[in-house]
Amino acid sequence: MWLETPRNPKAPLAGIRVLELARVLAGPWAGQILADLGADVIKVESPEGDGTRQWGPPWVERADAHGNIQREAAYYHACNRGKRSIVADFRDEADLARVRELSASADVLIENFKTGSLAKFALDYPSLKAGNPGLVYCSITGFGHTGPRASEAGYDFVIQGMSGFMSVTGEPDGDPMKMGISISDLSTGVYAANGIQAALIQRGRTGTGQQVDMSLLDCSVALLANQATYYLTTGDNPPRMGNAHAQVAPYGVFPVSDGHVILAPANDGLFRKLAELLGIAELADDARFARNGDRTINAAALDAEIAMATGKWTKAELLAKCKARGVPAGPINQLDEVFSDPQVIARGLRVDIGGMPGVRSPFTFSDAELALDRPSPIQGEDD
């Protein structure tokens, strides 16, 4: 069942076998990263299929091996590229035996079932470890396999609220806001791929695998970064800042005559350059704005002055001037602008595989290649 030869022998994970018992986003995202890196990933789906196949619109239609048109959600294709698909009903002994057989020769297994759910099928780590001591078994759950919430299901939106993300996202006087992407799921997928590869490296030293216990809540709290240390060092909850920065000013979104731009001069020298190019050089000598600490205290007054100046410029003119002077600045792009950006095009971030557009994993190697040879599989196409 496993591929006899690697999908791309120059890919970093060529020859690594991954069995994916995962659905929706965090687990499949980790599996897609490993697939892009060259692993042979077999996605095991229930007879009902991964739920994201139905998370449309938008929809994608394509013919299966028998010429029948299959309609699947574009969402599904965002996180399942490069895999193969088989269907298994864990209540069927023949299907279950097939999955166990695959796990016996897998390097990695990814699952995102609720804690304890797979034990009744003998697909939990202790059961599979007995027959495959080298197996790296990655479990992805909402809260991990320990602690008072270990048995609870986790959902990205809920975790964004619980983790503190939403308390620091949004306008100061507005409602708490979630991210525009499923950041808890996606970050867990990225962390899981890192954890899996670390366990594979350790296996190379010890000869044995292990279980990697990944939690949406753990990964989301870990992403708090400087916001966490703000609280941990002061005991105070960091405020919501909207597009502003708690420690740097000016830093935010400013109006121009045809829209908005981002300005982020993060030190005194860059602020002086910005003030000069905007024709308000005197602000750099104003005691209220001379140093970053002063500017942060007086950010509201400073932002008002800058907004009056930027409003006289067009977006293109101001961004060109900032680029020439080395002042950090940028546009706020819609996705059509993102994928027409010359830098995005030059880096080859958009890929088209089997007629399906997508975004490649963002790795660029000097002596390796990604394996971008398979679109997302039609359900059960490899049975």
DSSP letters, 257-325, are TTEEEEE---SHHHHHHHHHHTT-GGGGGSTTTSSHHHHHHTHHHHHHHHHHHHTTS-HHHHHHHHHHH
The CB density around residue 350, as the number of other CB atoms within 10 Å, is 14
Dist. CA 79–CA 45, nearest whole Å? 14
DSSP 358: E
Instruction: Give catalytic residue positions.
Output: 185
Give the distance from CA 199 to its chain's centroid. 20
Three-state SS string across 196-255, please?
HHHHHHHHHHHCCCEEEEEEHHHHHHHCCHHHHHHHHHHCCCCCCCCCCCCCCCCCEEEE
Cα separation of 112 and 233, whole Å? 35
**Beta carbons of 262 and 332 less than 8 angstroms apart:** yes
Q: Could you tell me if 79 and 28 are in contact, meaning their C-beta atoms sit under 8 angstroms apart?
A: yes
Rounded distance, CA 175 to CA 192, Å?
Answer: 31
Query: CA angle, 328 as apex, 325 and 332 as ends, to 5°?
Result: 125
**How distant, in Å, are the alpha carbons of 205, 258, 267, 270, 314 from that of 318?**
55, 11, 19, 15, 6
The whole-angstrom separation of Cα 91 and Cα 110 is: 20
Q: Residue 371: phi, psi to the nearest 5?
A: -100, 95
Task: Give CA separation, 76 vs 50, 54, 80, 109, 249, in Å.
Answer: 8, 8, 6, 20, 41
